[in-house]
Structures are given as structure tokens and as C-alpha cells.
A and B are shown apart, each in its own frame.
Chain A
Amino acid sequence: MSFTKETAAEAARSDLASRLGLGNGEVKVVSVDETEFTDMSLGAAASGEMAAQMMTSGWKIKLNAQERNYEYRADKYQLRLHNFKGKNYVIAS
């Protein structure tokens, strides 16, 4: 799966809506910022995962639902949910 800035943001919105049992319209995209992550797990390694230690360009996607903020991270190869209830998740790759 390959992502663009737009498709990554839309996939993040759908995932969060599904995760919270909400409609897509109830999840708001706050911002999508280009950033450089510290490694190829986008600084959001899942449990037991090893990542290449190369600085990697991608997008930090901030969402809001039910007055709470959530952060997804993406590059052209993957989408991750960062620090959701204390854990990181690979959503798509």
C-alpha cells in the first residue's frame, strides 16, 4: 500500500472512527504536517518491532474526536497510530 499526504489522512480518520465507534464525520482532521521521524517505525515502534535507524520523511496527522486529540504517523509505505492508550499500532503497510 502506498500513501500520499491526503490518502494517509483519510485512512487515519477512517481508522479512528472505526476504533471509537463513530462516523467519519465525527472525526476532525486538525493538522497534517510534514516532518522528519527518527527511524523507519516513524518513532512509533510497535511491541517487539525493530526499525531501521534512518531519519525518515513523513506526515504527522493530528485528529480530534469527542474533544480528545489523537496522533497518527505516516510515510509513503505505512500508517501508524501513536500512543493510543499507551501503545503504538501499525494500521496499514
Chain B
Amino acid sequence: MNRNNIWIHITLAVVMITLAAVIGQIDRWRAALSHRPVHPATTARRAPVLSVRDQELADAEVIVRFKPGVSLSEMRTIAATKNDRVVDEDESVPGLAFIDDLDNADPAGDAADYAAMSDVVLYAEPNQIIQLDDPAAGARSFDVDQNEYDANLPNDPQFGDQWSLNNQGQNGGKEHADIDALKAWTKTRGSADVVVAVLDSGVDYKHIDLRANMWTRPDSVPQYQDDELGSFDDFHGFDIGDRIGDPMDDNGHGTHCAGIIGAEADNSEGIAGINWKVKIMPLKFLGRGGYGTTKAAIEAINYAIDRKKNGVNIRVMNASWGSTSGSKALEDAIRAAGDAGILFVAAAGNNSTDNDKRPHYPSNYDLPNVVSVAALDRNDAITSFSNFGAKTVHIAAPGKDIPSTWLNDQYREASGTSMAAPHVSGVAALIVAEYPNISVAKLREKLLRSVDKLDSLSGKVSSGGRLNAAKAVSQ
């Protein structure tokens, strides 16, 4: 080989190497631009070979969460109208479907089309492709969180109507005008160690959606003994009015409040309570008509304090009742409850009036364990009936058209600050589940400092905001 041939070969080799490098770079650019997973052969870490099912899921451009009650065949019909195909339905998350767009249109646009079907769809989003070896994938917290979020959607068939827990804009509501329960449930779903006393018309403790979360007196706690009233077998709680140990509800109001706080969730029945697990202690002092005496209310509070001192972990009392008549004795009883470590959550009242000027009790008692609650509608507006007060009403919560449990295994929508208060009581119980040793003062502070500030509440409630369960259990 002469010197000229050597240079020719070297030149050819350089050209070929350069050409190969350019072709390789073009391939990498093509792969990057196509948003497709890098071929396994080109990665340092070999990805698993896709099964037929995995390949179908990878082909799915859109992930759609249909509302409870939409069957698989209905999902297929809906998809077919868009020339799409349901590739798979997720068994662990009811209503979640992976959809392949046969037209291969823009996934974001396709997802938006599904999201617009708000009567049947909870949400829709493009199917994000995450590469196993992409270190940035783990940082895409939205994808990870979304999966976690989905896992917290309960399968209760009426959950889609519970706008106060998850407002998707259903029935003319405003998206996210809710207490952000789904996000809160990624942190805690409550605890059977936390007892919430419901001072009300009793509770239907046999209700199919409540009975698992009803308190019963453990053997370690003695029967209730009252110097004046005598001894009662308070296995299910206490009926102060009739002075018996059976707090069965004969009105429905107490059962409704109890369901908001702690209807059993993810049991394929009815609704979901704010607490999937909790113990509801019914204290009946309101009669069949939904009203009762101040004295009976005091006796009910005293009962709860006694049970607390006997080891029952009562941390919250819900008081969805009131009047414009004040009582020093009632105020003292509520103060004693606070001294015993019990938060007292009270309805602000339904007279559309300013509690700063025209007090409503017990919500107006200026005590460190009292939280007064106004009512919001599904658009984050204060309801026409709700009382307010820049100084004396502390927080607002959903209180209009609230579905919950009713007598005899029934369900019903109801409105009132009666319905707003148990939202706050329920979130208070969630906080206690997460922070079991929290003081009453800190518990109250957490509730009021974690609100979503709303213009509609400026000058109406002292915190200026709506209850937010997710922030309350996280901050």
C-alpha cells in the first residue's frame, strides 16, 4: 500500500465515522421530537418488552374518569361517537378508562373534549408517557400524585353528587368550590380512635352507611351515672330528652349531620363521609320536631364531658342548632367541654343576619373552643339564608343541597348552616386522626388558618375563607 492509498483510506474512514455520527444524531433528534419512548436497544438500561396489553395502554392517548354509574358499555358508546376505542377499564379505580383515539388527534384536545362532557365525566387528561430510565420522570409529581389522588376516589355510588367534597362543576357548580377532600384523603382518611359527639336529634345508628362508624360504649367504660337522672345503659349514646340510653333518631337531622362527618366510605353504598373511619357518638336532645331545650343541651354536653373523663376520646362536638336566646349556663357547659379538650363546632344560624349585631347562640359564645360556621353554596357564594359576622362567625363551609344519610337507610339533600357545621367537625376529626395529641387551641387554629380565602367572604367571616381539608391536615 503506497502513501496515497493510506490517506484515501483514512479519509474514507473519517467520512464514514462522521456520517454514522450524523445519522445517529438524527435518530436521537427524531426520537426526541416524536415523544415516543426511546427504543430499548438505544438505552443504557434495557426496558422490559411490552406485552400486548401494555402496548394497548401505551397506545391510549387519553385517560378518562367517568362518573359513578356510567357502565363500561356506555363508556364504549361514548368513545365510539368520537371514533375512539376504550382500551381498558381500570379495576382499582371505578370509572377510569384508557382510550385510544383512532384518528390520532392531539391528545390534549381529545382530553378536553371528554372533560367537557361534565354530565358523565369527572375528568380527562392526556396519557403521559413516562420512561423508566428518565430521571426526570420521578419529578413529574403531577402524574404520581394523580394516581395517588385517583386511588382516593371512593366507590360510593352517590359520591358524584357530593359537590362539597369534590366539586367538578356538576349541576351548575363551580369547579373546586369544595373542601378538597380527595387531596386530604391522600394524607388521612380518619381514625376509629377519634370520637365525634353529635348533639342533635339522635342518629339512626342502624343506617347501612353509618353503622360501621358508630360509637358504642366499650366494656372498659362504666355505664353513665347522673346524680339527677340516675344510671343508663348508654351503649349507643344517650337520649337526654327521654332520659333513656337509646339515641335513635326520629327526625333525620342528626342522621344527616352524622353522614357528612363519617358515613362509611368506599363501601359501594350511598355516600362518603369526610372521615372514612371515625366514631360517631349520638347525643339526642332535639325531639322529633327538631327542637329542644337549653337544659337538655347542657345535659348532653355534660354527658360528653363525663364520657371523656372516663376515657372516651371525644375530641369534637357538632352543634347544628341554636337560637337567638343566650344562656350563661350553656356557655359555661361549652367552656367546660373546652377545658376537657373538646372542640365545639356550631352552626352560625339561618336568619341571613349579622351575628356581630344580632347574636346567635351557641355559635356566638366567645370561647376558645367554639368555631362558628357559615354556609356556602356550590359556587362558593355565601347562601342567602346564612348568618355571617366579621367578628363572630369564623369560617364558611358547604351548606346548600348537601346529600347525606337519612332515616331508614335513606339519603336526602338538605340545606342550612346545620350542614356546614359538620363539614368543619369532620375536618377537625381528620386533623385529630393525623395529629392525635393536638390541643383544642391548635386544632381550632389549624382549621381557621388553612382556609381558602374568598372574596365573597371578605367582611363576612373572621378567617375570610372556606374550609380546606387538604390544607388543614397538611399544614
Measured CB to CB, the residues of A under 8 A from B are 38-41, 43, 45, 47-56, 75, 77-78, 93
Contact = CB atoms under 8 A, between A and B. Distances in A.
Given A52-B200, A54-B253, A41 B322 contact: no
B288 interface: yes
Contacts of B37: none
A50 B241 CA distance: 13
Contacts of A51: 286, 290-291, 321-323
The 5 closest A-B CB pairs, nearest first, are A40-B290, A54-B416, A38-B350, A53-B347, A52-B290
B320 interface: yes
B123 interface: no
Contacts of B351: 38, 43
Contacts, number: 97
Interface of B: 200-201, 251, 253, 256, 286-295, 297, 320-325, 327, 347-352, 385, 414-419, 421
Given A51-B323, A52-B286, 17 more contacts: A39-B350, A40-B251, A40-B290, A41-B291, A47-B325, A50-B286, A50-B297, A52-B201, A52-B251, A53-B322, A53-B418, A54-B350, A54-B414, A54-B418, A55-B414, A55-B415, A93-B289
A49 B348 CA distance: 16
A49 B323 contact: yes
Nearest to A37: B350
A53 B322 CA distance: 7
Nearest to A39: B350
Contact of A52 (B320, B325, B352): B320
B325 A53 contact: no
Contact of B287 (A39, A54, A93): A93
23 contacts: A38-B416, A39-B349, A40-B291, A41-B290, A45-B291, A45-B324, A45-B325, A48-B325, A49-B293, A49-B323, A50-B294, A50-B297, A51-B286, A51-B290, A51-B323, A52-B251, A53-B320, A53-B321, A53-B348, A53-B350, A54-B414, A55-B414, A93-B288
A32 to B, nearest CB: 19
B294 A38 contact: no
Residue of B293, B350, B385, B416 with most partner-chain A CB within 10 A:
B350
A49 B290 CA distance: 10
A55 to B, nearest CB: 5
A35 B125 CA distance: 45
Given A38-B350, A39-B416, A48-B325, A54 B290 contact: yes
